Amino acid sequence: MRTAVSNPHHLSVRENLALSFFWFTSNMQWTALIIIVVPEVVLHLVGSNQSGTAMSWLTASGALIASIVQPIFGALSDRSQNRAGRRRPMMGVGVAGTALTLALMGLAHRFVLFLTLYLVLQLFANLASAPYQALIPDVVEPGQRGVASGYMGLMSQAAIIGGVLVPTFLDIRMTFLVLAGLQLAGLLVTVVGVPEVPPKDAPPKWDGRKFLKAFWISPREHGDWWWVFATRLLVMLGFSTLEYYLYYYLHFVQHLANPTPVLDQALIAVTAASLLSVLTAGWLSDRLGRRRVMVIAGGLVMGLAALGFVFTRSLTLVLVAALVFGLGYGTYLSTDWALAVDVLPQSHDAAKDMGLWSISQTIAQTIATLVAGLFLAAVEMHWGNDLAYRALFVITFIYFLGGSILVLRVRSVR
């Protein structure tokens, strides 16, 4: 087991790439599943009339599991005294379960079985990501957090390309097997490439009352943490709505019988544009100390792009809106992690705190899909699919706008 010289320390380019590689394979998995594979399987299993509602319940249930799993297993990771490290053993168990579940999902031919396996996948995948999220506060020095966040954003964008290409060129069963293999590869690269950083002090002894009490972060003492949580919740509401329903938007609004090719082009456009901003914005946030400005700019640009989907019937303009969205998305991603780490409570519970912070995304997935499911069910009945999905994307603009404005409430970070 490698150990770091200091805690935290300055990461080399190779260590930054290794640190963020697990984020690449994890995001590639969820990109492929959420944007293409799961909507396609659900549409096949339940039919077009029930697909939107079924997709909403499936993703909301999965996000609820993620919201519970991440902080609990993050807290257990913080208290681990395993000789192999606090983070690695739990990551290994989570990835092994993830790979096995993905392989089984390719064999499911009934919606109930597919739903069950999807929920099991959420359990294991978040079991792995809970300790992983603590690696940035574990190993990255404060002056390099923007750069590290930029690498995480870069890997997120690269994952979009991989996530759309795999299901485009492979059938459903083979896609699940390839994604399973990638999770194992991601674990290996990050575990081998990132030095284990032992805590300065021994983990606290087990105390059930203190363990439960640790999940409360006082708004009075850590108000900025809660504002960052709220802003990310709103931005992720917008992002999740676009992510989960873009396939159906192209199908019902743009009237594409097979949305996958255009969806691939849109996602590649998002990725290409975001690569122009992701590392640059992260580096600038470190140099200028202006993380809030980057987060606000990214959220507003994504919101404007969402309005572009509402008011066009041109596939060319859809791709232009995707390019604009990518610029904002890259800017937001490059400082998202760094802003969260900057406002973490000063404690030995980094994995638990990052797990609680990540609930802003998983709760957003739950709320976004439940709101969208109820909204679509009500609007489609009276005004049809076209107007329903256009109106849904107006709601995403409101989410992005609200999230951008609330960043101004964060006082301890410029």
Residue 1 lies in a domain: no
Mean pLDDT over the full length of the chain: 82
**Model confidence pLDDT, tens digit, residues 100-111:** 999 999 888 888
In the predicted model, is pLDDT for residue 380 greater than 70?
A: yes
Q: State the pLDDT at residue 211.
A: 62
Average pLDDT over residues 265-288: 78
**405 CB neighbour count, 10 Å cutoff:** 14
Q: 172 or 74, which is more confident?
A: 172
Confidence class for position 5, pLDDT limits 50, 70, 90:
very low
How many domains is the chain built from? 1
Kindly report the pTM of this predicted structure.
0.69
**Most confident among 84-88, 128-132, 158-162, 380-384 (mean pLDDT):** 128-132
Residue 167 lies in a domain: yes
Residue 211 lies in a domain: no
| Joined tokens for residue 24 | 């690449």
In the predicted model, is pLDDT for residue 347 greater than 80?
A: no
What percentage of the chain has pLDDT greater than the value 70? 86
**Model confidence pLDDT, tens digit, residues 37-71:** 988 888 888 877 777 678 777 877 887 888 888 88
Residue 203 lies in a domain: no
CB 148 within 8 A of CB 11: yes
Residue 5 lies in a domain: no
304 Cβ contact partners less than 8 Å away, ≥ 6 residues apart = 324, 328, 397
**Model confidence pLDDT, tens digit, residues 209-232:** 666 666 677 777 777 888 888 888
Q: State the pLDDT at residue 351.
A: 64
Average pLDDT over residues 297-325: 90
Average pLDDT over residues 117-132: 92
Residue type, 304: L
Residue 78 sits in a domain whose CATH number is 1.20.1250.20
Confidence class for position 243, pLDDT limits 50, 70, 90:
confident
Dump the DSSP string for 141-193: -GGGHHHHHHHHHHHHHHHHHHHHHHHHHS-HHHHHHHHHHHHHHHHHHHHHH
Q: How many CA atoms lie within 13 A of 300 on its CB side?
A: 10
Domain that holds residue 94: 13-197+220-409
Q: State the pLDDT at residue 398.
A: 94
In the predicted model, is pLDDT for residue 313 greater than 80?
A: yes
Q: State the pLDDT at residue 1.
A: 37
What percentage of the chain has pLDDT greater than the value 90? 22
Give 205: exposed, middle or buried? Use CB within 10 Å, 0-12, 13-18, 19+. Answer: exposed
Confidence class for position 151, pLDDT limits 50, 70, 90:
confident
Residue 360 lies in a domain: yes
Residue 208 lies in a domain: no
Residue 205 lies in a domain: no
Q: State the pLDDT at residue 392.
A: 92
**Nearest-angstrom CA–CA distance, 95 and 78:** 19
Average pLDDT over residues 299-322: 90
Q: State the pLDDT at residue 396.
A: 93
φ, ψ of residue 196 to 5 degrees: the values are -70, 135
